[in-house]
């Protein structure tokens, strides 16, 4: 029987998250901040939830596992090569300087012991969720400062996993001497390397065939991928590693498969739910103190993240010979703490290396820095002009050889996808249309959920479900000269017609069902491909030429 307290608690959390998410959309507040505020309101501020159940806490653990699985899914070897030297140098230098600076700052504020370094690392990381969402929502993923920010985040993610490994080992060996701690760390690092090697080998030699079979059905691929994730997580328990590491490595292994991008889109909604519960729970557990010292520490740590980390990142990027403007935007983008900072604090608390007050302090810092950095990014151009006018940018050095106009280079495929044709459904009709349009010199993007149907096509292809808006956006359907649907799925055709109408993109729909034509006509479809009607017209034309039917009058 389902625990009634669990259902009630989960219901209150979901309702609170929904209400604050709606408010966040209206006010332009990041979703993480909305979830934290929801937890604060239903928790310490109103007392609706004074605690969470064991089952609710299990859901938050699931959120952490799936979040790291998604981060791993994005870590392809191609992406590592793309970010290259700049990301490695900038990311490594930023983490090192921020950790040392943050730890020193915390020591000056009176923190001692392991808490100094835990807080130092927590302050060094920036939020992958917040940064990526800001880049996508503002169509700035391909800007130079966006690529630098993603590269730095990539290095941070790797450091997080290594740090979680070390913390897990320290937690197990915390009761022993120095040699026991060193031995535990070495064993954990060796176990992680061995697990990574085995999992990547499986991804290279074992997974391709079964995953290729599963990819014929998006649902099968989704379930098989989650099965692989939890199988690797179970393996980490055998090796005495944390489940967060197993989820990350499982994601990395699947990221090397050709359909990993489609898998990311399918896992995202599930992860959104678990992550929402995770951050709401975090807000419920936040403990505010009325002492002036607590709030003074929170404001000072927030100031270090917003100003100190900004200065560190900007200095590094300028020294790598990027323009002042690129460095300014990159630093502004990364001036907050990460969702992984909260995960790190939780792991450290379970291991007895961080007290509850320090974890609550870190939550307040996250609330402040994520809110301010998101608002600052919305006004980045105005802030840059203000800093430039006041002469504050001269502190970082003169403008370098790279031009400020280089901040917004589009990728080649983005430039090509202007005035292109998007074809949804690579059945016989779709494949023939793709070939004929490509032969005429048209730029075509073919979309289908079955990778086999996308093989040997002369045009660009995209694996995914076109009913998902993210798939259409990746195909830049709002800039297309035409969208063609050859699908025999009436509800899907209605959705495509509606979305094309919303962005004023002309569309041509396969009207195989005569009963559904009125819906399509109401959505201003430019051309309806109706085989029965078109066939009769063609037949009548031939019969008139043969003299069997009388010629048209007039």
Q: Does any domain span residue 50?
A: yes
d(C-alpha 420, C-alpha 238), whole Å: 52
Instruction: Examine the domain organization and report whether 227 and 85 are in the same domain.
Output: yes
Residue 79 CA from chain centroid, whole number: 14
- 21 shares its domain with 140: yes
Tokens matching residue 358: 């320090």
Residues 6+ positions from 383 with CB-CB distance below 8 Å: 328, 332, 376
Q: Would you state the pLDDT for residue 181?
A: 59
Q: Tell me, yes or no, whether 81 and 27 share the same domain.
A: yes
Q: What is the pLDDT along the chain (554 residues), one digit of tens a residue?
A: 456 777 888 888 899 999 998 888 887 777 878 888 898 888 888 888 876 667 777 777 787 788 778 878 877 777 666 666 777 888 889 999 999 999 999 999 888 888 899 999 999 999 877 787 777 667 676 678 887 888 888 788 778 877 877 777 666 655 555 566 567 667 777 877 888 888 888 888 888 888 888 877 778 888 899 999 999 988 887 877 777 788 888 888 888 888 787 888 788 788 788 878 888 887 887 776 667 778 888 899 999 999 999 999 999 988 888 888 888 999 999 999 987 888 888 788 877 788 878 888 888 898 889 888 888 888 888 999 998 888 878 777 655 444 444 444 434 444 445 689 999 999 988 999 999 999 998 999 999 988 888 888 999 999 888 888 878 888 889 889 999 999 888 888 888 888 898 889 999 888 766 666 777 777 778 888 776 666 666 666 766 777 676 776 65
Report phi then psi at 18, rounded to 5.
-65, -45
User: Which residues constitute the domain of residue 517?
Assistant: 417-545
Domain co-membership, 20 together with 157: yes
Residue 279 lies in a domain: yes
Return the CATH number at 422.
Answer: 3.40.50.720
Contact assessment for residue 215 and residue 209, using Cβ atoms and an 8 Å cutoff: no
User: 84 and 193 share a domain?
Assistant: yes
DSSP-based helix, strand, coil % in the chain, nearest 5: 70, 5, 25
Q: How many domains does the chain divide into?
A: 2
Task: Assess if residue 488 is contained within a domain.
Answer: yes
Task: Note whether residue 427 is domain-resident.
Answer: yes
DSSP letter, residue 409:
P
The answer to whether residues 287 and 436 belong to one domain is: no
**Is residue 368 a part of any domain in this protein?**
yes
308 within a domain of the structure (yes/no): yes
- State the helix-helix crossing angle for 128-137 and 339-350, rounded to 10 degrees: 170
Whether residues 458 and 331 fall in one domain: no
Alpha helices in 173-309 (DSSP H): 178-205, 208-214, 218-238, 243-255, 260-285, 292-303
For residues 319 and 425, membership in a common domain is answered with: no
CA–CA separation, 38 vs 281, rounded Å? 9
Enter the pTM of the model.
0.71
- In angstroms, the CA 472 to CA 422 distance is 9
């Amino acid at each position: 029987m389902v625990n009634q307290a669990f259902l009630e608690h989960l219901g209150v959390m979901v309702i609170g998250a929904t209400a604050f998410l709606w408010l966040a959309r209206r006010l332009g507040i990041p979703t993480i901040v909305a979830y934290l505020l929801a937890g604060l309101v239903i928790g310490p501020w109103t007392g609706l939830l004074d605690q969470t159940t064991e089952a609710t806490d299990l859901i938050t653990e699931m959120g952490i596992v799936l979040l790291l699985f998604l981060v791993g899914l994005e870590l392809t070897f191609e992406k590592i090569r793309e970010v290259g030297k700049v990301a490695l140098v900038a990311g490594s230098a930023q983490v090192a300087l921020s950790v040392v600076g943050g730890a020193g700052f915390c020591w000056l504020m009176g923190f001692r012991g392991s808490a100094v370094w835990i807080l130092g690392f927590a302050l060094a990381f920036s939020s992958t969720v917040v940064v990526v969402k800001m880049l996508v929502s503002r169509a700035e993923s391909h800007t130079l400062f966006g690529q630098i920010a993603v590269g730095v985040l990539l290095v941070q993610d790797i450091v997080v996993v290594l740090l979680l490994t070390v913390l897990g080992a320290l937690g197990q060996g915390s009761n022993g001497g120095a040699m026991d701690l060193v031995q535990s760390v070495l064993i954990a690092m060796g176990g992680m390397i061995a697990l990574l090697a085995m999992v990547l080998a499986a991804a290279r030699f074992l997974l391709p065939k079964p995953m290729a079979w599963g990819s014929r059905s998006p649902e099968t691929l989704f379930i098989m991928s989650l099965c692989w994730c939890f199988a690797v997580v179970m393996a980490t328990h055998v090796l005495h590693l944390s489940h967060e590491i197993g989820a990350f490595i499982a994601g990395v292994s699947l990221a090397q498969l050709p359909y990993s991008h489609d898998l990311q889109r399918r896992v995202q909604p599930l992860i959104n739910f678990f992550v929402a519960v995770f951050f709401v729970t975090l807000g419920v557990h936040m403990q505010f103190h009325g002492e002036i010292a607590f709030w003074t520490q929170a404001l000072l740590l927030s100031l270090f993240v917003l100003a100190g980390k900004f200065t560190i990142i900007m200095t590094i990027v300028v020294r790598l010979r990027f323009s002042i403007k690129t460095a300014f935007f990159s630093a502004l983008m990364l001036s907050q703490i990460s969702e992984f900072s909260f995960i790190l604090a939780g792991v450290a608390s379970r291991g007895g290396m961080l007290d509850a007050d320090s974890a609550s302090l870190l939550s307040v810092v996250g609330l402040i820095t994520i809110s301010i950095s998101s608002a600052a990014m919305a006004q980045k151009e105005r802030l840059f002009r203000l800093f430039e006018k006041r002469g504050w940018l001269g502190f970082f050095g003169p403008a370098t050889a790279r031009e400020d106009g280089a901040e917004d280079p589009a990728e080649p495929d983005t430039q090509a996808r202007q005035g292109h044709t998007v074809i949804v459904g690579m059945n016989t009709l779709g494949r023939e249309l793709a070939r004929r349009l490509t032969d005429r010199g048209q730029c075509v993007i073919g979309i289908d959920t079955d990778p086999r149907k996308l093989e040997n096509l002369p045009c660009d292809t995209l694996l995914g479900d076109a009913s998902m808006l993210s798939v259409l956006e990746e195909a830049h359907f709002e800039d297309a000269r035409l969208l063609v649907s050859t699908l025999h799925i009436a509800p899907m055709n209605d959705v495509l017609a509606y979305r094309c109408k919303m962005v004023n993109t002309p569309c041509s729909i396969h009207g195989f069902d005569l009963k559904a034509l009125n819906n399509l006509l109401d959505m201003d479809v430019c051309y309806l491909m109706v085989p029965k009607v078109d066939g009769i017209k063609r037949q009548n034309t031939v019969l008139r030429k043969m003299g069997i039917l009388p010629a048209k009058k007039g």
